[in-house]
């Protein structure tokens, strides 16, 4: 791919990433704005942040790809601070760096996939959800983040088993929002190209 084309497509990507990032921040606020409880656990992990990491990693070649999901998490956590404080929870607990790091890994995963075929979005989303599950639950076990698990292999397995109900919503969110983000971008890019070709020389 030529540098000129890369530069052009990078410029076109900016508004998409910003729009998707704003959606991700808003989406994280929704369960708190509507006071959803534990009975709506599907909504808590069905978020666009991982998909945003995949999209930014695929469309941007600079370090901004890694900073995008990180920025979304920091901004949304700051906005969630009052809601969490009212419930007696800290906005930035011991496990936050692991959660932040896990979301940046999404961009790493998609960059390791040389082929940009749309068919590889689903495997990339699965790998992203899997690493997020493994890393964040390990952090929860190691830091005793709200639950006391034995600090041995049995305790670690118990922690992973307890986290299994959240893996489905995480994967579902990654798949759904990846399809949405990449699909909207492809559609918008196609419309832009057709409009450009239809303009007189």
Rounded average pLDDT over 103-130: 88
pLDDT of 7 above 70: no
Q: Measured in whole angstroms, how far is the alpha carbon of residue 127 from the centre of its chain?
A: 12
pLDDT of 99 above 70: yes
- Its pTM stands at 0.85
For the stretch 27-81, pLDDT in tens is 998 888 877 666 566 667 899 999 999 999 998 888 889 999 999 999 999 998 8
The pLDDT score that the predictor gives to residue 199 is 66
Work out the pLDDT band at 174, boundaries 50, 70, 90. Answer: very high
C-beta atoms surrounding 178 within 10 Å: 26
Higher pLDDT, 1 or 154: 154
Q: What are phi and psi of 145, to 5 degrees?
A: -75, 80
Residue span of the structural domain in which 169 resides: 3-198
Rounded average pLDDT over 105-124: 85
Lowest mean pLDDT among 24-33, 79-88, 180-189: 79-88
Higher pLDDT, 102 or 7: 102
Please count the structural domains in the chain. 1
Query: What's the mean pLDDT when you consider all of the chain?
Result: 84
Tokens standing for 104?
């940046």
- Decide: 152 and 31 in contact? Cβ < 8 Å: no
Work out the pLDDT band at 23, boundaries 50, 70, 90. Answer: very high
For the stretch 135-147, pLDDT in tens is 999 998 988 665 6
Q: What is the total residue count of the chain?
A: 201
């Amino acid at each position: 791919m030529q540098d000129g084309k890369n530069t052009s497509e990078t410029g076109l990507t900016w508004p998409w990433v910003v729009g998707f990032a704003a959606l991700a921040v808003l989406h994280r606020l929704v369960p708190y704005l509507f006071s959803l409880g534990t009975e709506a656990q599907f909504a808590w992990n069905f978020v666009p942040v991982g998909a945003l990491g995949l999209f930014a990693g695929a469309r941007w070649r600079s370090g901004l790809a890694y900073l995008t999901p990180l920025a979304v998490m920091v901004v949304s956590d700051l906005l969630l601070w009052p809601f969490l404080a009212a419930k007696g929870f800290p906005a930035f607990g011991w496990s936050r760096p692991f959660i932040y790091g896990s979301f940046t890994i999404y961009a790493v995963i998609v960059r390791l996939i040389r082929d940009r075929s749309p068919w590889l979005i689903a495997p990339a989303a699965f790998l992203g959800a899997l690493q997020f599950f493994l890393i964040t639950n390990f952090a929860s076990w190691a830091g005793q983040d709200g639950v006391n698990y034995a600090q041995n292999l049995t305790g670690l397995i118990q922690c992973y088993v307890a986290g299994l109900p959240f893996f489905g919503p995480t994967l579902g969110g990654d798949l759904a929002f990846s399809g949405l983000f990449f699909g909207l971008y492809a559609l918008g890019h196609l419309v832009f190209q057709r409009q450009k070709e239809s303009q007189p020389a």
